[in-house]
A and B are shown apart, each in its own frame.
Chain A
Amino acid sequence: MAEVLVLIGHIEGQIRKPGLELLTLARELGTPVAVCAGPGLDAEVIRTLARYGAHRVHLVESGELEDHPVGWVQVLADLAATAPQAVLLESTPEGREIAARLAVRLGSGVLTDAVDVRPGPEGPVVTQWAFAAGYEVTARVVTGVPVIAVKPNAVAPVPLAEEIEPEISRSGLDLDEASLRTHVVSRAVRHSTGRPQLTEAEVVVSGGRGLGGADHFELVERLADALGGAVGASRAAVDAGWYPHTHQVGQTGVTVSPQLYVALGISGAIQHRAGMQTSKTIVAVNKDREAPIFDLADHGVVGDLFSVVPQLLDEIARRRR
């Protein structure tokens, strides 16, 4: 079977869930090759990659990719000379800009925001959602090595039943002029809040304008913790400076698709709905019966979140006692 190149992002050897999701998808398409670089890639990391299907782990021995991320285009273009079945990356800001540039360099077609990738008789078949997830689109790349950017949380990462011993390959890197001209000046790795990452969480609890202030986000955090979820925020709450932009759910923030989405004090503007309406179950608490969020909610409470949520928290605690 032809190889499938998978770009694995990591922080100091900590492989995040989306990388394992990509490997899970890749092994249905062909033989996965995990491509990674940077410090911390020890034997344990390589074992993890193999457990999720990497038959080969390709280590790029260059410290320059940290400072010049556009250099990944060159790495993947060199590896793609062997005509792999596909190149898979994360559909994140970092992944998309590599996917776009790579597709031009390879003369390939590219698809972003994949929510599923399956093998087909004429190459990988990609499922996407269009127009605020109102439509489901199936598409294929018909020219060149398919470059496919997959949304985090598209599939559950599944380890292999048996361990495989991966092959290790290595290459150096001599960066081109254009890659060198984009520099990372500083990088503040998001400190762990102890909560799951927003895009990867099974449960997301979000707060909006109805919270009325930054201090009240504590209530959102408490419910998120009680449900083992991540914290989200509407654009209104972010614009008001109540919660960091990295938690914004919506068209210009993060798109989430958890098992459970809880909207607290969020009216449900189209901007917000575009980022969460594919959630499996939606629950909303809002004072305004006319709020559009109730058109999506499986269970809605029309009322004051400052009495409903504390009561819910007490009840969850009581039932778990």
Chain B
Amino acid sequence: MRIVVCVKHVPDMASDPGFTADHRVDRDGVQGRLSELDEHAVEQALRVLDAAPDTHLTYLTVGPAAAAEALRRALAMGGHAAVHVSDDAIAGSDAPATALVLAAALRRLEPDLVLCAMASTDGGTSLVPAMLAEHLALPQLTFAAELTVEPGTATVRIRRDGSRATEELRATLPAVVSVTDRTGEARYPSFKGIMAAKKKPLETWNLADLGVPADQVGAGAARTVVDAITARPPRTAGTALPDEGEGGLRLADFLSGQKFV
């Protein structure tokens, strides 16, 4: 079985990134990392690999040169190979254009299972997994809280906590699955893993390699436009009083004053 995990190199939210004048994420002086939620998708792939050692596991990303760091980090957790799609024309791509490029790469990699995180930690739209499924005419299972891969019957099952119901869904492979952090704790790369990752094959492809016309991606092809971004005023802390025996009464006063009681 062949698994491809799509990963993203994102600004570390702990370093408090902002936006540039042209409404892009300002990465200047901001540390980048493998998106934290992607680690759960990597973990699920590694669990399949642990159970079925003939599984081949590849990581795929789209992004500038620094995005290769995310691939090395994933490779340090385990798996076999990585593909980095990089091309100056891709800069500023929205979710549809990103999905177009990833789908073109996936057609070459021919996986039985495509795994993604539920969302990136920067854009956070959760759109790409279902978009990949549409491009590749594959079934999709999104927002999995639990994932079971059954290579024998070529099926994948998930449990999803939706807005109205908890559902168990099943799809036949090949399929695209996105997983939440509920699927389980991700393993930490070992020193041995980090050393081994340096020797694992990492290929770089550009748009011409994939046959994707440059005018279909990048800021110029974006199907949405941002008119304005404004920082919201930070919340100002109100009073925080120590409870000296009447904390509950004072809280009741506050809630009454605000008409909640």
Neighbouring A residues of B95 by C-beta, 8 Å? 100, 110
Question: Which stretch in B82-90, B126-134, B206-214 binds the other chain?
Answer: B126-134
Query: Do residues B163 and A311 form an inter-chain contact, with CB atoms below 8 A?
Result: no
- Within the complex, the shortest CB–CB distance from B165 to chain A, in Å, comes to 4
How distant is A45 from chain B, measured CB to nearest CB, in Å? 16
Contact of B168 among A9, A130, A185, A283 (CB under 8 A): A185
Decide if A1 is an interface residue (CB 8 Å cutoff): no
Which of B14, B175, B182 has the most chain A CB atoms closer than 10 A to its own CB? B182
| Interface 0/1 of B108-142, CB less than 8 Å to A | 00000000001001101111111101110111111
Smallest CB gap from A311: residue in B:
B248
Q: Which of B1-9, B69-77, B224-232 contacts A (4 or more CB under 8 A)?
A: B224-232
Query: Are B135 and A138 touching (Cβ within 8 A)?
Result: no
Q: What per-residue 1/0 map shows which CB atoms of A137-172 lie under 8 Å from chain B? A: 111111110000000100000000000000000000
Evaluate contact between B243 and A304: CB separation under 8 angstroms.
Answer: yes
Of the residues A136, A199, A295, contact of B229 by C-beta under 8 Å: A136
**Which residue of chain A has the shortest Cβ distance to B226 in the bound complex?**
A139
Contact assessment for B118 and A134 in the assembled complex, using a CB-CB cutoff below 8 Å: no
- With A110-B95, A142-B223, A183-B169: A135-B229 Cβ-Cβ less than 8 Å: yes
A109-B224, A183-B170 known; A309+B248 contact, CB < 8 A: yes
A168 and B180 CA atoms in complex are apart in Å by 39
What residues of chain A lie closer than 8 Å to B231, measured between beta carbons? 134-135
What is the CA–CA distance of A145 and B207 in the complex, to the nearest angstrom?
Answer: 27
What CA separation (Å) do A289 and B99 show in the bound complex? 46
**Total residues of chain B contacting the partner, CB 8 A:** 83
B169 near A260 (CB under 8 angstroms)? Answer: no
User: Does A301 make an interface contact (CB < 8 A)?
Assistant: yes
- Residues of chain B contacted by A297 (CB below 8 angstroms): 237-238, 240
**Which of B172, B224, B229 interacts with A111 by CB under 8 Å?**
B224
Q: Which residue of A lies closest to B126 (CB)?
A: A96
> Within the complex, what minimum Cβ distance (angstroms) separates A91 from chain B?
9
- Mark the stretch among B43-51, B54-62, B154-162 that contacts chain A: B154-162
> Contact between B161 and A101 (Cβ–Cβ < 8 Å)?
no
B104 CB-CB contact with A under 8 Å: no
Flag if B228 contacts A137 (CB, 8 Å).
yes
Residue of B nearest to A294 (CB): B240
A54 to B30, CA, bound (A): 47
Majority DSSP secondary structure for residues of B touching A: mixed
Q: Which A residues are CB-close (under 8 A) to B225?
A: 139-140, 142
Assembly CA distance A178 to B140 (angstroms): 8
Which chain A residue shows the least CB distance to B248? A311
> Chain A: which residue is nearest B181 at the CB level?
A252
- The answer to whether A302 and B134 touch across the interface, beta carbons within 8 angstroms, is no
- Which of B140, B168, B234 interacts with A101 by CB under 8 Å? B140
B171 partner residues in chain A, CB cutoff 8 A: 181-183
The answer on a CB contact under 8 Å between B227 and A139 is yes
Complex Cα distance, B139 from A104, in Å, reads 14
A178 (CB) vs chain B CBs: closest residue? B137
A240 lies within 8 A of chain B by Cβ: no
Q: Which of A96, A133, A282, A284: most chain B Cβ within 10 A?
A: A96
Q: Which of A135, A136, A186, A312 contacts B248 (CB 8 A)?
A: A312
Q: Is the CB of A184 within 8 A of B237?
A: no
Q: How far is the CA of A152 from the CA of B138 in the complex (A)?
A: 29
Other than A16-B164, A101-B130, A320-B261, give 6 A-B pairs with Cβ distance below 8 A: A94-B163, A98-B130, A109-B222, A184-B168, A298-B254, A310-B248
The chain B residues found within 8 Å of chain A, CB to CB, are 13-14, 17-19, 37, 94-96, 99, 118, 121-122, 124-131, 133-135, 137-143, 145, 157, 160-172, 175, 180-182, 222-232, 234-235, 237-243, 246-252, 254-256, 258, 260-261
What are 16 A-B residue pairs whose CB atoms fall within 8 Å in the complex?
Answer: A93-B160, A93-B163, A100-B131, A112-B125, A112-B127, A131-B13, A138-B227, A139-B227, A141-B224, A142-B225, A179-B139, A187-B166, A283-B251, A299-B240, A301-B243, A314-B248
